[in-house]
Amino acid sequence: MNHARTVDVGGEIPYTIAIGPGLLGDGEALARHVRGRHVLLVSDSVVAPLYAGTVREALHTARPDLAIGTFILPAGEESKTLAHFGHAIEALATLGATRDACVVALGGGVVGDLAGFAAACWMRGVDCVQVPTTLLSMVDSSVGGKTAVDIPQGKNLVGAFHPPRAVFADTDALATLPARELRAGLAEVIKYGAIRDARFFQWLEQERQALLAMDGQALALAIAASCEHKAEIVDRDPLEKGERALLNFGHTFGHAIETEQGYGGLGNDNLNHGEAVAVGMVLAARLSADLGLAPAADADRLETTLRDYGLPTRIPVGLAPERLLARMRLDKKNLAGRLRLVLWRGLGRAEVVPDVDESRVLAVLSG
Ligand code: GLY
């Protein structure tokens, strides 16, 4: 843990996010969060061959008494289903996991969300340690305790709030991350600047080349700054009763795109989550400008930055605006059947806008 930066997340059960190289092999640090004797290591078919052995061995060396089970999902958003959730629960049962068991989620957002949800449900809740291996999961999904699976009607519609006991973001794991996945993670990093920190946004504009070239220091700084923003928000609003909704800037549009195209990502033409959020942020900024809430120049600046980072900024051809709007009506932020969206007053100033006129949304979706 020598070179790790740490970010503390407060709340009822505080925990620490460690960020730095070599954390996957730090068995002492990982094992410190295992209270009992049972560990279920959950990973996917891409990450497990790379890193599951390291984590298993590290845990075993630190705690030879541990019974360590492994559950491997096929890689991809398509696996974030109730059926695979059921298989994870079966793996816990086969392991004989008791109430002091620990689920270790090793992978990206799909693994973290599904493993976290299994931990939330097994025996009404056991510990979960998040070990994110993608930039996107390091800066967003591994922190804050949102866990879920998708159903055909929408993303993350079945889930629970279940904060982790600890998060270990090993920056060495980013070395094997495909460039497209790195850019998807950077979309979520840019989001923090867009919603609450114009100076950070400017830093991201300046450090683009270093970040895209995976400069270790720049990446660690970007991850730590993002986690600090997220920690501050979830500390004050763990259950998304207010401020936490701001983290969903671009997500209502983005989720609609993801659901409408069918969940996909790597290896096909569908947008992955970060890419869909990039498009969604531009749509949210455009809608804000159309509603007179924010300058159009800020929307232009956001779009230019995202494009410079190699991210998409337009809705993929073939997705019908009316169908996207129908998907948006199912968003969890909506209340009493009204569209409630995260928009902005300009760069660094996001806010929740209740009761947005659907015709104005449709106009932006059609634009
Ligand atoms: N990804 C948004 C949140 O954790 O609230």
pLDDT confidence of residue 268: 65
Q: What angle do CA 71, 76, 78 make, to 5 degrees?
A: 95
Does residue 263 contact residue 155 with C-beta atoms inside 8 Å? Answer: yes
Max intra-chain CA distance, the chain: 62
In the Cβ-directed half-sphere of 29, how many Cα atoms lie within 13 Å? 22
Task: Report d(CA 279, CA 147) in Å as an integer.
Answer: 24
Q: Which residue's CA is minimally distant from atom 2 of ligand 1?
A: 247
User: Same domain for 245 and 151?
Assistant: no
38, 230, 301, 332: the active-site residue: 230
Does residue 204 contact residue 305 with C-beta atoms inside 8 Å? Answer: yes
Is residue 297 packed enough to be buried (19+ CB in 10 Å), middle (13-18) or exposed (0-12)?
exposed
Identify the band that residue 362 occupies on the pLDDT scale cut at 50, 70 and 90: very high
Per-residue burial over 261-280, b = 16 or more CB atoms within 10 Å of its CB, e = otherwise: bebbbeeeebbbbbbbbbbb
User: Same domain for 11 and 77?
Assistant: yes
DSSP 215: -
Say whether pLDDT at 29 is over 70.
yes
User: Same domain for 204 and 255?
Assistant: yes
Q: Which residues have a Cβ under 8 Å from the Cβ of 25 and sit 6 or more positions away? A: 54, 55, 57, 58
Say whether pLDDT at 179 is over 80.
yes
Tens digit of each residue's pLDDT (9 = 90 or more) over 333-350:
777 778 999 999 999 999
- Residue 146 CA, ligand 1 centroid: distance in Å: 7
Tens digit of each residue's pLDDT (9 = 90 or more) over 242-283:
999 999 999 999 999 998 998 654 446 799 999 999 999 999
Average pLDDT, the chain: 95
84, 196, 273, 286: the active-site residue: 273
Domain stop point among 117, 144, 176? 176
Does 333 qualify as catalytic in the annotation? Answer: no
**Helices 358-366 and 273-290: angle between axes, nearest 10 degrees:** 120
pLDDT confidence of residue 263: 61
Q: Count other Cβ atoms within 10 Å, centred on residue 241.
A: 9
Domain limits for position 162: 5-176
Quote the number of domains for the chain. 2
Does 255 qualify as catalytic in the annotation? Answer: yes
User: Same domain for 289 and 194?
Assistant: yes
pLDDT confidence of residue 332: 74
User: Same domain for 191 and 224?
Assistant: yes
Binding residues for NAD(+): 109-113, 133-134, 146, 155
User: Same domain for 276 and 211?
Assistant: yes
Identify the band that residue 154 occupies on the pLDDT scale cut at 50, 70 and 90: confident
Domain stop point among 176, 192, 223? 176
Q: Domain with 133 in it: what CATH number?
A: 3.40.50.1970
User: Same domain for 72 and 203?
Assistant: no
Say whether pLDDT at 298 is over 70.
yes
Say whether pLDDT at 353 is over 50.
yes
Binding residues: 109-113, 133-134, 146, 155, 188, 251, 273
Task: Report d(CA 290, CA 357) in Å as an integer.
Answer: 12
User: Same domain for 102 and 191?
Assistant: no
Match 């790597």 to its residue by tokens: 266
Is residue 214 packed enough to be buried (19+ CB in 10 Å), middle (13-18) or exposed (0-12)?
middle
Nearest to 128 by CA among 233, 6, 55, 41: 41
Task: Report d(CA 150, CA 129) in Å as an integer.
Answer: 21
Does 28 qualify as catalytic in the annotation? Answer: no
Say whether pLDDT at 289 is over 90.
yes
Strands 341-344 and 67-73: unpaired
Task: Please give the full DSSP string across 258-327, using - where no structure is assigned.
Answer: HHHH-S--TTSSS--HHHHHHHHHHHHHHHHHHTTSS-HHHHHHHHHHHHHTT---SPPTT--HHHHHHH
- Residue 96 CA, ligand 1 centroid: distance in Å: 32
Nearest to 332 by CA among 143, 160, 188, 141: 160
- Residue 161 CA, ligand 1 centroid: distance in Å: 10
181, 240, 258, 260: the active-site residue: 240
Q: Domain with 223 in it: what CATH number?
A: 1.20.1090.10
Domain stop point among 129, 145, 176? 176
The pick from 156, 229, 247, 255 for probing ligand 1's pocket by mutation, whose C-beta has the most ligand atoms within 8 angstroms, reads 247
User: Same domain for 87 and 119?
Assistant: yes
Binding residues for Zn(2+): 188, 251, 273
User: Same domain for 130 and 264?
Assistant: no
pTM, full prediction: 0.93
Q: Count other Cβ atoms within 10 Å, centred on residue 295.
A: 15
Ligand 1 site residues (CB inside 6 A) read 140, 144, 146, 240, 244, 247-248
User: Same domain for 115 and 215?
Assistant: no
Say whether pLDDT at 107 is over 70.
yes
Share of the chain above pLDDT 70, in %: 98
DSSP 335: B
User: Same domain for 290 and 192?
Assistant: yes
